Each structure stands twice: as C-alpha cells, then as structure tokens.
Structure 1
Amino acid sequence: MKNLASDYKILIVDDVPTNVILVQAILKKEGYTLLTCDNGAEALRIAQDEHPHLILLDIMMPEMDGYEVLQRLKSNPETNDITVIIMSALSDMQSIVKGYQLGAIEYVTKPFQREELLKRVAHRYELFSIERIKAELENTIESRDTLYSVIAYDLRSPLGSLKMMNNAILSMVDKDKVGGDVFDMLQMINKTSEEIFLLLDNLLKWTKNRLKKQHVYKQETDINTIISKSVDVYVPIMQQKGIKLTQEGLDKEIVGAIDIEMLKTIIRNLLSNAMKFSFEGGEVVVSSKVDGDFIVVSVKDSGKGIKAEDQSKLLQADSHFTTYGTNNEKGSGLGLLLSKDYIESHEGEIWFDSEEGKGSTFYFSLKIGD
C-alpha cells in the first residue's frame, strides 16, 4: 500500500512571483506535486480541472481576492471538499475570522516562517494519507468478504448434495454386514460433512451480513415448531457421539413474527456448539418460554464448560475466541458471532451461564410482539 508525497497535489495561488518561488522552494524537497497560478480566475479553473488536495491561497490579489475565490470554491459542489490554507500579510483577527467563516481550514501569515508552513502542510498531508489508507483497507476488506461469499456459495451446493448422500448411505448400511470400523468411518464422514456444511453456511451468511446484503424477513409462525424441527435434525448427529437430545416445552404453540431462516441458523449453531463441548453419554436440553414481548430460548449441555477467565472473550468480535471440543473438534467462532448479529436484528440478546467441568447454558431472546 504505497503512500507517496508525490500523490499529494498542492495549488499555490499568489500574484507575487517571488512568494510563489519561495513557497515552491520550501515544499519542493518534501516531494509534493506543486501547481501554481497568479490570479483568482485561474485558481478556480485549476481547482475544477486538477482537483488539488490542498490550496495555499493568497488573500490580497487584484480583480478577484482570496476571499471571493474561497467563497466560489466552497459554493461549487465539485470543489467544496478541497482543503484551503489562507496566506496573507493580514494579521488582524477580523481577517482571520472571515477566512475561517468562508471555509478556510488554517491561516499562515507572511512573511513565511519555513517551519510553520512545512508543519501545517505536513499535517494536512498526514490526514490525507490516513483517509486514503482507511479507504484502501475498506476496499480490501470488502473485496475479501466478497471473495469469501463467492467461495462459500460455490462450495455450499455440492457439499449439500454430498451431505445428503452421506446421510442416505448411512441410513441404508447395516453395521453388522460392513463391520464396525467401516461403519465408524462412515459416521465420521457424515459428521465431518455436516460440520463443513455448517461452516460454509455460516461463512456465506456472515459475509452477506458484513456486505449489508443480509435482510430480515419476518413471518408470522409458530416459533416452537421451527425450533423443534431444527432440533430434530440434530438427533441422529448427536447419537453418533452418544449424546441425548431433549426438548422441553417445545410442544406449546408460541406464535410470533420472526425471520425463520435466521432462527434456524441460531439453533443450528448453538446445538453444534453444545454437541462439540459435550462428553459421550451427556445430554443437551432445548427449551423455550415467553417473557413479555420476547421468546427466550435456552440450550443447555452437561459438557466441559468454559473457563472463568475465558468467558469474557466469548461473543466478542475483536477477540475471535474459540476452543477445542471434547473430541478435539475445532471451531471457527463464526457461528456464535453470526447468531449474535441475527439475535440483535430481532431486538434480542444472547447470554450464557457456564462452569468448567459442569457444562454451559446459552440463552437468547427474540422480540415477537409489538
């Protein structure tokens, strides 16, 4: 990411040639690109055509003084963003105030003090550089996120087909006929494809969210039915790890307006984490209840829990915290962050209780009332 002073264009406007030569001599060694003119009309033309980043503008000029030039620059939408530093022998407060009122950003008095002029111009160049670096970083991040989205989208469809075929094969295979080792490998393939599919799905949705292309589409529905169906999908997957999956209170109708796909994504991610951090023979319990205008859902496991010193790192986008599961499963941390975004888009919140060695309970609320 280059940041050269030659990219910074400065227009020097003064009707006295010796002043122009002096300013050029002071700034030339710094490497800036310098433009010059000796009258207001020419200054306006160059500003329009060249769009310099900074104008060093003399006030006392014949025909069109610096104040009029400044006023015209700031009234023109194509030049009103150009930074202007006024140069003048005038030192009374009224003249300085007038320059600021018309849009000048700073004021340098004549005769020029070399260090003062250099410092003021360097400060403006630094601000320009910071803004340019910021813009380039934003473009880089957007390009990266777009690339992630394209990759995730292209891989999601074939992997989804592979996942369904794995599920079909596993349901048709007789463990006694193929042998325990082969059956275990088939189960591992099935579990791995589920995990990769969830990761790609999260990545696709996360990048869409970052690119502001993810919209909330609320529909009136029985929320508990959506949760229950999402839980049912995980029953056979958790059985492979010897984990019991229990539903509590999900048979009661709770009608409200929510984004159904977002809710499914939240449930899938919380169940995936609960399974990852549960031991064989453990239990995961999913329940819901109504609290005023909100539905509150909990996913409880009896797994390894979260260390006290690590709990504050969870749900923080800047820390991107993740740990290994009970079978050394590695997560990306994206699932919880994506779920948090979806929950907050429903005016809800996510929180948890956890104790190391005893398990965790994750809660989230979604607003379903007016």
Structure 2
Amino acid sequence: MSYVLYFSALLMAATCCSLFMTYLCWKRRELPIAVSLGLGLLAGSFYSFGYAFEIVSSNLEQIRFWLRFEYIGIPFGTVLWFMMVLQFTGHQAFLNRGRIALLMVVPVVTFVAHYTNDWHHLFYKSITIDDSEGFPLASMVTGPLYKVHVGYAYFFCIIGMGLLFHMYRDAATTVRKQIIFVVIGSCGPYGVTAVYLSGIIPTSVDFSPFGFVFSGIFYMWGIYQFNLLKLAPLALQKVFESMRDAVIVLDLDYRVTSFNQSARRVMAGLNHKKANGMLAADVFSVYPELIDRIRQEPFKDSRLMITEAETSKFYNVHISQVSDNKQVALGIMLLLSDVTEDVHNQEKLLTSTRQLGELNSFKDKLFNVIAHDIRDPLAVLVSLMELMEEEMQSCDGEHDEVVNEMGQQIQNTFMLVESLLEWFRSQKGGMVFNPVIADLSHTVQANIRPLQVRSKGKRIQITSLIPKGTRIYADKEMLDLVIRNLLSNAIKFTDNEGSIQIEAHQVDNEIIVSIKDTGSGITPDQASTLFQDDNPVSSVGTAGERGVGLGLTLCREFVRMNGGDIWFDSKLDQGSIFYFSIPTLHEEA
C-alpha cells in the first residue's frame, strides 16, 4: 500500500508541472498555439490530479467520484493537442469555428456519456472493485462509446504525429530540435496509454497519467531551451521560404545544411537533389570569389555578379556567423540581396551626371564667350559714344536725338550683358565672396561718378550725406553692384530736375543705407513682385529707359550674402526709398 502513496505524490507533482506550464502559456496567450497548448495541459492536469486520488480511494463510491473529475479533461485532451500540432506545423488555417465545433462533437458526447453512464451503460458496462494489487482499484468493462472515444483519440494522434514527422523531414536543422521535443513530449501520454490498453504489462494500475510527468519534463525543457511558445517553427520556415533574398546556411565544415527557394533560383548548384550536405566548394564551384569570401574571417560584405541565361545580375553578399544563445558558433549564413536594378540605376545616374557636366562646361564656355567677345566691344562702344556726345556739343544739335538714342541703346545693351554675367556668377559660384573693410562714403562716391552722364542728361542732382570714415565690412564687388543698381534705378524712375539723396545711419551692429528719389514711385502690383526670381520684368523709365529686370534680384542676393537685408518704402507719384543693411566691422570682429 505504501508505494501507492508514492505514485499519488508523483501524480501530484505531474499536476503541478502541468499547471505551471499552463501558467506560462497563459502569459503568452496572445499566441494561438500557447492557448491550445495551455488548455491541453490543463486537461491533462484534471486527469493526473483525479487519478492521484483515485488510487488512494477506499471504496467504489470515491473511485466513481474521482473518475468523473478525471473526465472533465480526458475527452478534450486529444483534440486540444491536435489543434496545437496544426498551429505548430503551420496548418492553423484549418481551424475555423465550424471545424473546431465538429472536432469537439465526440469529446462532448464522451463527457456526457460518462456522466450519464448509470442510465445507459454505453460507456462502461460495469465498474467493480479489484483488490489484486493489494489496494482497491476500479475494474471496468468498457462499452461501445468508450471504444469510440479511444479510437477517436488515436486517430487524431496518428494524424498529428504524421504532420510532425513530415515537418521534421523538410525543416532546417535548427528547427528540427524543437520538433523532436514536441514529438517526444507528445509520445508520453499516448505511448503509456497504448501499453496499458494492450495489456502487455499485467497490472490493473493505469500508468497513463504518469505519461504526463514524462511529457511535462520535455515540454518544460523545450519551452526554456528553445522557446517553443515564441514562434511556431513552421511559420518561421514559411517566412524563410518566402523571403525574396537568397538565404543559404552552412555548418562549420562548410557543408550546405539549408537554403530557401530564392537561393535555389539564384545558385544553379543548389538545384541538385543532394545539395543538402554537399561541400560549399562543390556547390559554388563556378563562384570562386564567393568561396573565398566564405573562408575569410572576419566576414565582410561584398558584391557578386552572377550570369543567368546570358543576363548578368548583381548581388550584395552578407555573410554572418550563426550562434546559439551561449554564443557558441553553429554555422555560417549567407544572405544574397539582388541589387541589379540599383546598379543599373547607378550607371544611368553616372551617365546623366557626365552629360550634365559636359553641358555645364559648354554653358560656362558660352558665358566666357559673352564676357570676352561681347562685353569688351560694348565697353569700347560706350566710350566712343561718350566721345561722340562731347564732339556733338560743338555742332548745331541737328543730330542730338539720334546720338542720344544710340547712346541709350548701347548703354542698355551693356547693362544687359553686365547683369547677365553678374547673375551667372552669383548663381553658379563663379564669384568668390571676399569681404574687406571699406569706407562707405568713398564707395558711394566712386559709384556715383560713372552715372553722372545719365543724371546730368536728366538734370538730376545726386547728393551723398554719408560722412567720411563710415566703415563697413563687405565684399567690394558685390557692394559696388548693389549701390550702382539702386542708383541706376533711382535715375531711371526720377523725372527731369529731380533729386536723389543717399544717407546712412548705424543701428546696433549694422549700417542702414537709404537711397531716396523723387521719382514716380511704385504701384502696389509692382511692389508685390519686385524681388521675385521668376520671370523678372523691367519697367520703362521716365525717359523711356529699359532694363533687363535682373538688378533688384541681384541686389537682394548680394546683400544677403554679406549678412544684410534689403527692403523699400514707396508712395505713388511721390518717390521711393530703398534700404539695405551692411554689417559693421565691429560685428565681424
């Protein structure tokens, strides 16, 4: 009688083990496989817990009670295990509500038949006490529904094992270990029950619940060693197979152990039926560069060109070491990513870049032609026109109008070329920014002198009120162009006998320069588009002067390059004031 107590204690230990694993499954209940496994373990817990008390019961009534307790879980255990196997092997799509309900028909009939057996005796024909083992045990004469229950359970057991063995055959080496643990753990209850039902061991003690002790050990080991509940292995296998990148796994002897369908398409050597287990040197014999990369440590990424049916493809090859959770090397993994399209796009981009470079060089040469072959002759023409105007003053003035018109056209053409060249240099980096210390008063006077012919022609008085010694820090060429353009515009839009006044005053670390004229002013429509880059348009001056519309855009760019800003204030028919700011020497120091 004493060893029965040990059996009971062992069954209680198996129950605790199953309940603990049920708790682990409950923590991972967001995974369907964890739910089915947990419910299956819970069903087994009812069996082992009930039988622990059944074998220490003293009469038939107590035995019947614990039998009913056991059958809360026994009918459903196989179906729950089968559902877990379907999810584990990637056949979870089979499990919809209708099929699950159909699978549960026989377990529910078994459950009801067991609890109502006293009415029909279709499950057990009779239950009596057997004292042959020295303690009371239940001796049952089984009925037809019991045989249906057993047959149903082993039918799904065989199908489930078949799915596991089929999965094992096609799985990668790292996944096979998980499958082995599931198979061994599943053999516990069904194997022991099969031995008990066959009568091979002449005993009345049902050792089936002890199979749960065996299963519990292997499932517990599998959960902690291989993290069985983290991801169903076949799902991982399907991800592996569906990858667009080619993946090849080698062992430490450089033998192929696994590869996906993409690798089979890329590497001709993997189409061999016995590619698994072959040396990498034999499989990749036509790719000596790849073999050299595999044998080099540390592993480095590289690019490999593979010719397929007279078509060359390029692959980035990433080689990494496969290690277990203790960082022990298990093998080598090759990842080949198709970058053919990227390589071709890169080649096209380089070709386009070369063409753009050639066009840019041609454009630079074209502007150089303008600078040397057009600008210089125009400058000579301007000088000749000035001499002609001086000589014409001694004549009777018959040709003054013609000469003035010619002079104006030459000036306009010269300003066009000058503005185009300045714009080109500012936009393409041809002009070097070179700030220096300068006297603003001297700079303004130097830019007034070239414009005196135009201002005297319209009898416009230009006055600079900037005191000598007003020092600024700016690029001289850019500052000259800004002042020259603003003064030229002021002359252009000021009527005869008008005036232009230039002032400057300091605000914080900036000098604010203002150029005020008594001209026609700026309309609101013109004011809103004055500094826009798109399609600049020049207005006609008070004496019919024309420009190219680039002056103010250039002024804005040059002022900003020098760290300042430009703006204006204008009243129609009352004149305009243009302001721009330039840093003082104190700010830059």
TM-score (norm 1): 0.63
Using the TM superposition, give the Cα deviation of residue 343 of structure 1 relative to its aligned residue in structure 2, in angstroms.
1.9
Among 288, 291, 298, the residue aligned to 2:507? 291
Residue ranges of structure 1 left out of the alignment (5+ in a row): 1-11, 22-36, 42-60, 75-82, 95-103, 109-116
Secondary structure of the residue aligned to 2:448 is helix
* Cα distance change, pair 126–86 in 1 and its aligned pair in 2 (3 A): closer
Residue 287 (structure 2) aligns with: 39
The alignment status of 1:255 with 2:483, answered yes or no, reads: no
Q: Provide the rounded CA distance (Å) in 1 between the counterparts of 2:438 and 2:569.
A: 29
State the partner residue of 1:46. Answer: none
- 1:177 aligned to which of 384, 387, 396: 396
- For 1:8-23, list aligned pairs within 5 A: 19=266
- Look up the equivalent residue of 2:454 and give its one-letter code: I
Deviations 1:43-100 (A, max 9, x none): xxxxxxxxxxxxxxxxxx65534998993548xxxxxxxx975589x9x9x9xxxxxx
**Structure 1 residues 151-172: Cα deviation after superposition (integer angstroms, max 9, x where no partner):** 1233222222221221122123
Q: CA 1:288–1:243 in 2, change beyond 3 Å: closer, same or farther?
A: farther
Residues 132 and 336 of structure 1, relative CA distance in 2, 3 Å threshold:
farther
Per-residue CA shift, 1:274-306, capped at 9, x if unaligned?
233334444333222233332222222333433
Partner amino acid, structure 2, of 1:227: V
- Counterpart among 539, 542, 551 of residue 324 in structure 1: 539
SS at match of 2:300: helix
* Deviations 1:187-210 (CA, angstroms, capped at 9, x unpaired): 222233233223322333333333
CA distance in 2, matches of 1:194, 1:226: 22
Could you tell me how far apart the structure 2 residues matched to 1:129 and 1:159 are?
Answer: 43
- Provide the C-alpha distance between the structure 1 equivalents of 2:347 and 2:524, rounded to a whole number of angstroms: 45
Q: Which whole-Å CA distance do the structure 1 matches of 2:549 and 2:386 have between them?
A: 26
Query: Secondary structure of the residue that 1:286 maps to in structure 2?
Result: strand
Quick one: which of 64, 72, 75 aligns to 2:293? 64
Match of 1:33 in 2: none
The answer to whether 1:307 aligns with 2:523 is yes
Q: 1:199 aligns with which of 406, 416, 429?
A: 416
Q: Is the contact made by 2:493 and 2:519 (CA closer than 8 Å) also made in structure 1? A: yes
Change (3 A) 1:70 1:85: farther
1:321 alignment partner AA: P
**8 A contact 2:445–2:464 mirrored in 1:** no
Give the equivalent residue in structure 2 for 1:222. Answer: 439
- The aligned residue for residue 372 of structure 2 is 153
Query: Could you tell me which of 404, 422, 430 is aligned with 1:213?
Result: 430
Q: Which residue of 1 aligns with 2:461?
A: 245
By relative contact order (CA 8 Å, sep 6+), the higher-ranking structure is 1
From the two aligned structures, give the one with the greater helix fraction: 2
Using a 3 Å threshold, how does the CA distance of structure 1 residues 248 and 64 change in structure 2: closer, same or farther?
closer
- Compare 152-161 and 320-329 and name the one that shifted more: 320-329
Alignment check: 8 A CA contact 1:219 1:257 kept = yes
Give the equivalent residue in structure 2 for 1:361: 577
Q: Which string of whole-angstrom CA distances, capped at 9 and with x for unpartnered residues, describes residues 191-237 of structure 1?
A: 33233223322333333333423223444332212202312332321
The alignment's C-alpha RMSD in Å is: 4.2
Q: Distance in 1 between matches of 2:544 and 2:348?
A: 45
1:193 to 1:183, Cα distance in 2 relative to 1, 3 A: same
2:299 and 2:500 map into 1 onto residues whose CA distance is 70
Question: What corresponds to 1:269 in structure 2?
Answer: 485
Q: Does structure 1 conserve the Cα–Cα contact (< 8 Å) formed by 2:564 and 2:582?
A: yes
- One-letter amino acid of the structure 2 residue matched with residue 267 of structure 1: I
Counterpart residue type for residue 401 of structure 2: D
Please, what TM-score do these two structures have when normalized by structure 2? 0.42
Q: How does 1:106-145 map to 2 (within 5 A)?
A: 129=348, 133=352, 136-137=355-356, 139-141=358-360, 143-145=362-364
Task: Encode CA deviations 1:161-186: one digit per residue, 9 max, x unaligned.
Answer: 2212211221232266232xx11222
1:164–1:124 CA distance, 2 compared to 1 (3 A):
same
Report the Cα offset of residue 122 of structure 1.
5.6
What residue number does 1:56 align with?
Answer: none
Q: CA deviation at 1:365?
A: 1.5
Q: Does 1:333 align with 2:549?
A: yes
- The amino acid across from 1:274 in the alignment is A
CA distance in 2, matches of 1:360, 1:159: 31
Distance 1:151 1:289 in 2: 39
CA contact (8 A) 1:222 1:255 kept: yes
Q: When the two structures are aligned, how many residues end up with a matched partner?
A: 291
On the 8 A contact 1:243/1:278 being kept in 2, the answer is no
Partner of 1:342: 558
Which residue matches 1:24? none
Give the superposition deviation at 1:254: 0.9
Instruction: Confirm or deny: 8 A CA contact 1:300 1:361 kept in the other structure.
Output: yes
